[in-house]
Each structure stands twice: as structure tokens, then as C-alpha cells.
Amino acid sequence: MGVLAYVLIRTHAGKAKSVAEHLSKLAGCRNVCTVTGRYDVIMLMEADSLEALGKTVVETIHKIDGIERTETAIVV
């Protein structure tokens, strides 16, 4: 098993569903849910390493249309 992390995502108004659909298609996505509260979408993802996790978040997830901000919580 690689590195597991929860990616907590805030989206622009009305974009949570489309962001969640896009995230669900990414390699390493284990689960993605739209939620209520401070965040709009929470994704559980797996990566081979911390470096790969960071690269996916910065180079892929941050570029998805509708994402305002992310916070990553690495499972320990």
C-alpha cells in the first residue's frame, strides 16, 4: 500500500458535483463524496509516495475547473 490521504476541497458555488465527477476518474481515487459543511467535496486518494501525492494535488487537482482551495490530510 502507498500513501493514503484525504483531500478536502472547497469549490466555487454550484461546482461541487462536477468537481466530484472529475475527481472520481483520476488514478488513485479510492472514494469521493460531496458533503455539507466547511468543505464541498472530500476525496480519499492513494499514491505511491508523498512526492507522487504532492504532484497529483498540485499539478492535477488544483487545475480542475471549479476548485477554489484544497487541504490535504495524510493518513498516518
**Segments forming the whole domain that contains residue 56:** 3-74
DSSP H or E run through 53: helix 50-59
Please name the residue that has the C-alpha cell 484544497.
70
Check if the beta carbon of residue 57 is closer than 8 Å to that of residue 3.
no
pLDDT value at position 24? 97
For the chain, what is the total number of helices (H) and then of strands (E)?
A: 2, 4
Q: CB under 8 Å to 16, separation ≥6 — which residues?
A: 34, 40, 41, 66
Query: pLDDT tens digits for 2-59?
Result: 999 999 999 999 999 999 999 999 999 999 999 999 999 999 999 999 999 999 999 9
Query: What is the band of 1 on the pLDDT scale with cuts at 50, 70, 90?
Result: low
Query: CATH no. for residue 13?
Result: 3.30.70.920
The number of domains in the chain is 1
pLDDT value at position 10? 98
Please name the residue that has the C-alpha cell 480542475.
64
CA–CA distance, 58 with 3 (Å, rounded to integer) = 16
